[in-house]
Amino acid sequence: MRSGAVWLASATPEQIEAFLGGLSDTTLAALPWIFEFWALPHQLPPEGAWKTWVIMGGRGAGKTRAGSEWVRAEVEGARPGDPGRSRRVALVGETIDQVREVMIFGESGILACSPPDRRPEWQAGRRRLEWPNGAVAEVYSAHEPDSLRGPQFDAAWVDELAKWKKAEDTWDMLQFALRLGQHPRQVVTTTPKNVGVLKAILRNPSSVVTHAPTEANRAYLAASFLQEVRNRYRGSRLERQELDGVLLEDVEGALWTHAMLDAAHVDKAPRLDRIVVAVDPPVTGHTSSDECGIVVAGVSMKGPPQDWIVTVLEDATVAGCSPQGWAEAAVAAFRRHEADRIVAEVNQGGDMVTGLIRSIDGAAPLKAVRASKGKSVRAEPVAALYEQGRVKHLPGMVGLEEQMCRMTLRGYVGKGSPDRVDALVWAISELVVDPSAKPVAPPRVRGL
Pair 47, 39: CB distance under 8 Å: no
Pair 380, 409: CB distance under 8 Å: yes
Per-residue pLDDT tens for 243-261? 777 776 778 789 998 889 9
Burial degree of 348 (CB within 10 A; 0-12, 13-18, 19+): middle
The sign of the CA dihedral 76, 79, 85, 86 is positive
The amino acid sitting at 236 is S
Lowest mean pLDDT among 30-39, 128-137, 157-166, 408-417: 30-39
Per-residue pLDDT tens for 274-316? 999 999 998 665 555 578 999 999 999 999 998 999 999 999 9
Strands 274-280 and 341-345, by their bridges, are: parallel
Per-residue pLDDT tens for 190-236? 988 878 899 899 999 999 999 888 877 777 777 788 778 777 776 66
CA-CA distance, 433 to 305, in Å (whole number)? Answer: 10
Cβ count near 350 (within 10 Å): 11
pTM: 0.61
From the list 364, 338, 277, the residue with the least C-alpha distance to 312 is: 277
Where does 145-292 show beta strands of DSSP type E?
Answer: 155-159, 185-190, 207-212, 274-280
Give, in order, the Cα–Cα distances in Å from 361 to each of 24, 27, 146, 259, 366. 73, 71, 69, 39, 10
Pair 175, 151: CB distance under 8 Å: no
Strand partners, 293: 280
Mean pLDDT (the chain, rounded):
86
Sequence-distant (6+) residues with CB within 8 A of 323 are 281, 285, 349, 352, 356
Q: How many CA atoms lie within 13 A of 187 on its CB side?
A: 25
Helix (H) or strand (E) holding 35: helix 35-38
CA-CA distance, 278 to 33, in Å (whole number)? Answer: 58
Helix (H) or strand (E) holding 230: helix 223-233
Q: What is the mean pLDDT of residues 391-404?
A: 91
pLDDT at 243: 76
Pair 277, 336: CB distance under 8 Å: no
CA-CA distance, 426 to 369, in Å (whole number)? Answer: 8
Per-residue pLDDT tens for 4-37? 555 555 557 776 667 667 767 766 666 677 777 7
